[in-house]
Amino acid sequence: MKIAIIGNGGREHAIANAISKSDKITSLYCIPGNGGTSQIAENVNINITKFSEIYKFIIKLEIDIVIVGPEKPLVDGLVDYLEEKKIKVFGPNKNVSQLEGSKIFTKKICEKYNIPTAKFGIFKNKNEAYKFLDNSKFPIVVKADGLAAGKGVYICEELEKAKSSVDEIFDGKFGEARNILIEEFLTGDEMSYFIISDGKTYKTFNTAQDHKRVGIGDTGKNTGGMGAYSPSGLINEDLEIKIIKRIIEPTLKALKDRNDLYKGFLYAGLMIKNNNPYLIEYNVRMGDPECQTILPLLKTDFLEIVSSCCNQKLAKQSIEWDKKKSMCIVLCSKGYPDKFEKKVEIKNLSKIVPDSDEYIFHAGTYVKNNKFFSDGGRVLNFVSISSSFSSCRNNALNKINKLNWPNGYYRSDIGYKVIK
């Protein structure tokens, strides 16, 4: 089979790695890909916003299945565009992608279908938001409604910070803002819960714990994700039943009631308190860096799973997992998530050889003259699989220290809640 993967991050490198292991694969392409994917697939330099150019390439190369990695082309309707032209695509359509594209859309579904979530208000301008904040208890959460690459969420301890967050969103930091979401601050432990669906049925797809904050001990600004581990230390049979019955199935029913079917990965960002789940937000794709820590634990041929979803045969597809632990530590450019330098050579990278059960997934890199250079805020993902989270972390940190990249920054405490 010929497969094309849309995207250029660490998630897409992890997907490409999983697909490349299938004995059914004949050709693998990444659009546009990165320095890491170029080692296992053919990178194709097409802008992922250029749907017609993507289609021309797919037709020319006779691609069998397209896998869409990132959220923006999903929210913008790439799946719809290609499916109208009879191309098989793994990913949700534009309508259901509103679950991530609009936090307000998701909150309204929660309200209508009694899905447990934080209390919230929707505001159309600064003055409305200010008045609400003047009478609110703190901390409080201010959110941009649309896509913000994981950075459009402000946890505000005081009124002044909340109002400045409102200003940033309405002043266009994350694009045009017609509405803003303000919600109560939930306490508890966060967890990432994944399912995979073919539109008729769904299956669970492991759990993970992300680390959003840039600083040690979950301090500082929100990022796209500084690291993750899988499975979550919070998951248990009773909790999983609650997640499915109170959150996942009511959401799928809500979409079905709208005559929409969900195909692809669905990622529920949850807050767990007293073994009860509350929905923080949905993402309509695999998380990044959760994908990098989940897929290496998959024992089943990932291409088989993707193909079964595209052909609505997921019910007959078994999914098996390695029982070991997995951890990903993200190496960033110094200064991330604020200003950082790009195009910095990553010396020694070609000399770092991962052991068995270790991976280095590239996020923001490119290759020039057989040398690797940084090309983003999150640059490399160091992944280790082992019998314990402690050894996972030690192994990943060992590789990062061997790389010794002067322009890099990472959190050395990933997994601190499960490593005592």
Q: Which fold has domain 189-316?
A: D-amino Acid Aminotransferase; Chain A, domain 1 (3.30.470)
Q: What is the pLDDT of residue 151?
A: 63
Indicate whether 39 pLDDT > 80.
yes
Q: Mean pLDDT throughout 134-162?
A: 84
pLDDT tens column, 347-383: 999 999 999 999 999 999 999 999 999 999 999 999 9
Instruction: Supply angle C-alpha 15, 20, 21, rounded to 5.
Output: 105
Q: Who's near 136: CB < 8 A, 6+ residues apart?
A: 159, 162, 182
From the options 3.40.50.20, 3.30.497.10, 3.40.640.10, 3.20.20.150, give the CATH code of 2-93: 3.40.50.20
Q: Is the link from the previous residue into 296 a cis peptide, with omega within 30 of 0?
A: no
Q: Mean pLDDT throughout 305-326?
A: 97
Q: What is the pLDDT of residue 222?
A: 84
pLDDT tens column, 16-31: 999 999 999 999 999 9
What pTM was estimated for this model as a whole?
0.93
Domain ranges in the chain with CATH number 3.30.470.20:
189-316
Instruction: Supply angle C-alpha 46, 52, 57, rounded to 5.
Output: 55
Q: Strand pairing of 42-43 and 27-32?
A: parallel
Average pLDDT, the chain: 94
Element (H, E) at 257: helix 249-257
Domain ranges in the chain with CATH number 3.30.1490.20:
119-184
Indicate whether 174 pLDDT > 90.
no
Superfamily of the domain at 119-184? ATP-grasp fold, A domain (3.30.1490.20)
pLDDT tens column, 373-408: 999 999 999 999 999 999 999 999 999 999 999 999
Neighbours of 387 (CB within 10 A): 10
Tokens at 353, concatenated = 């050889």
Mapped onto helix, strand or coil, the DSSP state of residue 308 is helix
Torsion region of 291: left, alpha or beta (phi above 0 gives left; psi -120 to 50 gives alpha): alpha
Q: Are 150 and 126 in contact (CB under 8 A)?
A: no
Tokens at 27, concatenated = 């050709």
Label residue 302 exposed, middle or buried (CB < 10 Å: 0-12, 13-18, 19+). buried
pLDDT tens column, 62-76: 999 999 999 999 999
Q: Which fold has domain 325-409?
A: Glycinamide Ribonucleotide Synthetase; Chain A, domain 4 (3.90.600)
